Amino acid sequence: MEKLTDFQLLECAGRWHKSATDAGLDVVVKIDKSLLTLVGKDDRVIVVWTLDAIQRTNPGSEPGEPAFYSPDDEGMETVEISDPSMISVIDDIISKYVEPEIGSGLSVRGFMLFLALVAVVATLLFAFSGSIAQQMAGLVSAKERQDIGERILAHFLDANGRACGSAHGARSLNLLDDRLFGSGKHELMVVPTELVRSLMLPGSIIILGSSLLEVHDGPEVIAGYALAESVAAEHLDPFERFLRSAGLRVAVYLALGKGADDDVIKEFAASVPVSGPTIFDEAELLAKFEGAGFTSAPFARASGRNGPLEAGDPFPNIYEPLLSDGDWLRLRDICLE
């Protein structure tokens, strides 16, 4: 690969043609070391080509005429460049390549292009589990995220039973929600199954299992699971977790506003962890307990995290009850109607 020793970055105006019949789009052409990048007027990257894959489609044209370059032998997709300096640089790079055959007719350029494509795909697949998923999640609108969460919820409830909703119990659950998070920040929901402890879905939907109500003497344990889900979500956004599971293609479709297939939603709903958050910052969770004004010890014992969460209990003795006795009893019965 010819290195650009005289400069690190060269730019000029150009015109990108998607096909032979395409009228073209004005772009900025950038050469940076081994890549040629075409950027639209909105600073959006349109396409990236490796310099070793580019060939000129109109060699021998008259001086002053634009040069056309393509990344493939057919020359269907091209970029039109009139800048003499850029033409000189690209032509000089292309002239460094020869076309000896490898094996049964595969050229050096074709073989190098194949390796470059493999490297790009491998990098995307590997990195998507991390920063790329996070960036893609940020491109999806709040409305789309909420819609995805509601669709996941619908499939989840189909498999685990409809949400509990006695009128008096729902009122008590709303009171608990307000005490923990303030009005409207999260939606708490109880499902009638012993298989679920807690989980959080995109759209700030926290699902809690009815067993958290049935085997404990007060609302502190179920409240603790709700707080723990909120802390875990601050480190791994539930929507980002969905994108990691769904894959790069779905993430791109959502970022473009094209939605997600129902089969993808259903598959995620069937596989989402339901045993409560396993990774969260205990110091941050203790701060949440302190902010909500109640003891962390019952949750620590119920979740098997007796160490710092119990030792650092901000209210080991006296605190304002999360709910009145009557509201607690009504919350316990939320699944009876």
Tokens for 143, please give them. Answer: 């409305």
User: Which pLDDT score, from 0 to 100, does residue 257 have?
Assistant: 77
Residue 66: partners with Cβ closer than 8 Å, 6 or more residues away: 80, 81, 82
| Residue 137, pLDDT above cutoff 50 | yes
Domain range summary for the chain, segments of one domain joined by +: 9-97, 99-130, 140-332
Give long-range contacts, CB 8 A cutoff, 24+ apart: 91-100.
Answer: 91/56, 91/67, 92/2, 93/2, 93/51, 93/54, 94/54, 94/55, 94/56, 96/2, 97/52
3-class DSSP state for residue 201? Answer: strand
Distance CA 82, CA 39 (A): 16
Distance CA 238, CA 133 (A): 11
* 44 or 144, higher pLDDT: 144
Residue for token pair 């009876």: 336
Task: Tell me the one-letter amino acid at 272.
Answer: V
* 132 or 313, higher pLDDT: 313
The string of pLDDT tens digits covering residues 70-80 is: 887 777 889 99
Tokens for 230, please give them. Answer: 């909120």
The string of pLDDT tens digits covering residues 145-163 is: 888 989 999 999 998 888 9
CATH number for the domain running over 9-97:
2.30.29.30
Tokens for 317, please give them. Answer: 């003795």
User: Which pLDDT score, from 0 to 100, does residue 323 have?
Assistant: 96
Q: Each residue of 171-201: b (16+ CB within 10 Å) or e?
A: ebbebbbebbbeeeebbbbbbbbeebbbbbb
Tokens for 40, please give them. Answer: 């639209």
* 207 or 96, higher pLDDT: 207
| Residue 295, pLDDT above cutoff 90 | yes
For the chain, what percent of residues have pLDDT higher than 90? 36
* 249 or 201, higher pLDDT: 201
* 232 or 137, higher pLDDT: 232
Strands 205-209 and 187-191, by their bridges, are: parallel
| Residue 100, pLDDT above cutoff 50 | no
